[in-house]
Amino acid sequence: MTERSASGIEHAAVAFIGLGHMGAPMAANLARAGIDVRGFDLSPHAVEHARVAGVPIAESAAAAVAGAGVVITMLPVGRHVMGAYTGTAADGSDGLLALAAPGTLFIDCSTIAVDDARRAHELTVAAGHRSVDAPVSGGVMGAEAATLAFMVGGDEADVEAARPLLERMGRRVVHCGGPGLGQAAKTCNNMILGVSMIAVSEAFVLGERLGLTNEALFEVAANASGQCWALTTNCPVPGPVPASPANRDYEPGFASALMAKDLGLALRAIEATGTHAEAGSLAAALYARFAEGDGAMRDFSAIITDIRARSAAAADDPGGAA
């Protein structure tokens, strides 16, 4: 199935590059919907896992891209996206941009910096292709259940061309503006999330130290102006929200390492734009510190355990620098 409709690229074969935690289930959902998917990953382990999940596998990036009308990337960070696009050969001939047929639609679903996304868009257009940035929220469970939310940046026609594919992997597709603005929306949203999780966690620890029960604070704040997703869905203390990661020893969920990464991207954007975002900058520093240690693979709500431990240490040693 490699036809192209007049309105863009529909029913085209899809090269899916990056079959990790997110990419494998996303690609599997496309394959399940009857789309001609050719998955590729550098890691044999990821390839095998994706194959078992139902993703047809190509032997190389070149084989995945041959005859494809769409290239979807789901890679860790910006340098991987740039590297995959431009290749390792001096002339870029082994990169996805050179391998793809002219007019291919590139959809990058990775979470990367806004300036990297804009650069990727420029390179894509210069190579004669079309591109959108389409980072996601919803995590691995959303990827598996095809309930992801896509935040999309790009030209209207390209976003509309991508939409039918995105709708097979998610249930919400928001066109946020021109190239890079999908990443901008993701960055701003996750900065809200990081800051609000720290605020909620500090409030619970302060409440505990004042003699307030977690249940009482939850009952008040969840029904008052303190209400937010970090409190009512991903509550950092066990009990009030039975499905939150705090009830299973902070098994993610959304790992602190990923929150630290996303806040690092926010910090980069804050600095690049000269935005006076002190809380966002501080949240980036606090999550970076937490993710350096054994917090990395715990849910991001586990930062409350760090706040609690530091509070206890400071109380034990009021003159110290805990």
Residues designated as active site: 186
Smallest gap, in angstroms, from Cβ of residue 142 to ligand NAD? Answer: 8
Neighbours of 119 (CB within 10 A): 18
8 Å CB contact between 167 and 160: no
Judge residue 304's burial from the number of C-beta atoms within 10 Å of its C-beta, 0-12 exposed, 13-18 middle, 19 or more buried. Answer: buried
Complex with ligand NAD: residue 10 or 94, whichever CB lies closer? 94
Q: Does 46 bind ligand NAD (CB under 6 A)?
A: yes
8-state DSSP, 166: H
DSSP string, 168-217: HHEEEEEEEESTTHHHHHHHHHHHHHHHHHHHHHHHHHHHHHHT--HHHH
Q: Does 136 bind ligand NAD (CB under 6 A)?
A: yes
Locate 86 and state its tokens. 């431009």
Complex with ligand NAD: residue 148 or 307, whichever CB lies closer? 148
Alpha-carbon distance values, 19 to 1, 40, 45, 267, 304 (Å) = 22, 7, 10, 28, 32
Map the footprint of ligand NAD across residues 75-114, applying CB under 6 A: 75-76, 80, 83-84, 110-111
Smallest gap, in angstroms, from Cβ of residue 315 to ligand NAD? Answer: 35
d(CA 145, CA 269): 31
Complex with ligand NAD: residue 46 or 146, whichever CB lies closer? 46
Q: Which residue number has the CB closest to ligand NAD? A: 20
- The residue from 140, 279, 282, 297 that contacts ligand NAD (CB under 6 A) is 140
Q: Does 43 bind ligand NAD (CB under 6 A)?
A: yes
* Candidate ranges 126-134, 159-167, 177-185, 253-261; the one touching ligand NAD (CB under 6 A): 253-261
Return left, alpha or beta for 249; rule: phi > 0 is left, psi -120 to 50 is alpha, else beta: left
Rounded to the nearest 5°, which phi and psi values hold at 108? -100, 115
Per-residue string for binding with ligand NAD, 19-38, x by CB under 6 A? xxxxx---------------
Q: Does 223 bind ligand NAD (CB under 6 A)?
A: no
Residues contributing to the site for ligand NAD (CB under 6 A) = 17-23, 40-43, 46, 74-76, 80, 83-84, 110-111, 136-137, 139-140, 254, 258, 261
